[in-house]
């Protein structure tokens, strides 16, 4: 493939104080875009934006809040004249098997990952359609293809987000907007550290994990190439996608992957007496 030709865009990134969102913001700026970093963590997002220089601006956004979304779009307009690309990245998990999570923890995951992201898409649909262009990139998860033990409600939100994303993209097929959905596998961020601390999430360690910068490359490339959907890794990701369709196959292979994940996790855990 030839070089990706960059045209400067204004990119609004959610959950940009840490992890994948921070890596997306940093790379987008390197590629000469301007970025509005948003996050629920005010101190962290201000710090992160400051460290990225004059092509970065910051705003506080809890993606669960409709008013917050309106303010974020207004902040982007004030800073850089409007939003060309929304990277809907913010997400959370609470680790543990479904029977152990409190009802409020199940609700939190749904309210952030699913309802918060839906609120962002709906805000962007209205504002981007009014301006006549825009690109919505949703950062979802490989768990949107495969139900996993230790991730019941998280997986449910990612399945739901993928369904919502493609439904809207089809509804809007004759409009001016572009839609991309990107599915990271295990990625070395604070979220994976949280999972490392809980043996019920062992399956996350069955395969190699990615650096957030690798996921960011796919997201920032997508600003130019506008793929419909990106899976990781490109080939094995497609196999996983198929496995999710056959529940009997799933029930056989997932416990095998989980056992491998447990062994890998044991190897990765800091050993007593070391500062790893
Ligand atoms: N890390 C992984 O292994 C992995 C794998 C697949 C998908 N993902 C997805 O990638 C996205 C980014 O995850 P990450 O690994 O970078 O996580 P992370 O925990 O490192 O960072 C998430 C960021 O989102 C922010 N955030 C949390 N709740 C928010 C809210 N209500 N409103 C706005 N911001 C909020 C946090 O403050 C944090 O800065 C998430 O949607 C996650 O589900 C992550």
Q: What is the pLDDT of residues 146-185, one digit of tens each?
A: 999 999 999 999 999 999 999 999 999 999 999 999 999 9
Residue 234: the pLDDT is: 77
Question: CA distances (Å), 253 to each of 7, 100, 244, 249, in order?
Answer: 44, 24, 11, 6
**C-alpha of residue 22 to centroid of ligand 1, in Å:** 10
131 membership: H or E segment, kind and range: helix 117-131
CATH number of the structural domain spanning residue 42: 3.40.50.720
45 is in which domain, residue-wise? 10-196+208-242
Whole-number CA gyration radius for the chain: 19
* Whole-number average pLDDT of the chain: 94
pLDDT in tens, 196-208: 999 999 999 999 9
| Per-residue model confidence (pLDDT) at position 276 | 45
The verdict on residue 49 lying in a domain is yes
Q: pLDDT category, 5, cuts 50, 70, 90? A: low
Q: Residue 84 domain-assigned?
A: yes
pLDDT class of 87 with cuts at 50, 70, 90? very high
pLDDT at 233 over 70: yes
Does a structural domain hold residue 230? Answer: yes
The CA distances from residue 150 to 29, 96, 262, in Å, are 36, 5, 12
Helices (H), 132-244: 152-171, 190-196, 212-225, 236-243
Q: How many whole angstroms separate alpha carbon 115 and alpha carbon 120?
A: 9
Name the band, by pLDDT with cuts 50, 70 and 90, for residue 271.
Answer: confident
Distance from the CA of 93 to the center of ligand 1, in angstroms? 8
Q: Ligand 1, closest atom to CA 187?
A: 3
Is 88 contained in some domain?
Answer: yes
For ligand 1, whether the C-beta of 215 sits within 6 Å is no
Q: How many folded domains does the chain comprise?
A: 1
Query: Which of the residues are catalytic?
Result: 154
């Amino acid at each position: 493939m030839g070089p990706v030709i960059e045209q400067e865009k204004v990119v609004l990134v959610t959950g940009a104080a840490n992890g994948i969102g921070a890596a997306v913001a940093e790379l987008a700026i390197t590629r000469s875009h301007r970025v509005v970093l948003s996050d629920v963590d005010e101190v962290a997002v201000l710090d992160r934006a400051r460290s990225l220089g004059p092509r970065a601006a910051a705003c506080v956004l809890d993606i669960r809040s409709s008013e917050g979304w309106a303010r974020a779009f207004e902040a982007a307009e004030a800073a850089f004249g409007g939003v060309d690309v929304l990277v809907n990245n913010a997400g959370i998990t609470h680790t543990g098997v479904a029977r152990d999570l409190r009802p409020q923890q199940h609700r939190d995951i749904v309210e952030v990952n699913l309802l918060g992201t839906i609120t962002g898409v709906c805000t962007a649909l209205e504002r981007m359609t009014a301006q006549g262009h825009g690109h919505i990139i949703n950062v979802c998860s490989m768990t949107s293809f495969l139900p996993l033990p230790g991730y019941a409600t998280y997986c449910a939100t990612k399945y739901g987000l993928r369904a919502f994303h493609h439904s809207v993209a089809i509804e809007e097929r004759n409009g001016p907007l572009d839609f991309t959905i990107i599915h990271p596998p295990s990625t070395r961020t604070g979220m994976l550290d949280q999972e490392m601390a809980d043996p019920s999430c062992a399956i996350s360690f069955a395969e190699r994990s990615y650096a957030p910068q690798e996921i960011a490359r796919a997201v920032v490339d997508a600003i130019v190439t506008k793929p419909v959907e990106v899976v990781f890794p490109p080939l094995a990701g497609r196999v996983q996608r198929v496995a999710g369709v056959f529940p009997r196959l799933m029930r056989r292979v997932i416990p095998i992957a989980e056992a491998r994940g447990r062994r890998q996790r044991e190897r990765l855990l800091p050993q007593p007496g070391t500062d790893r």
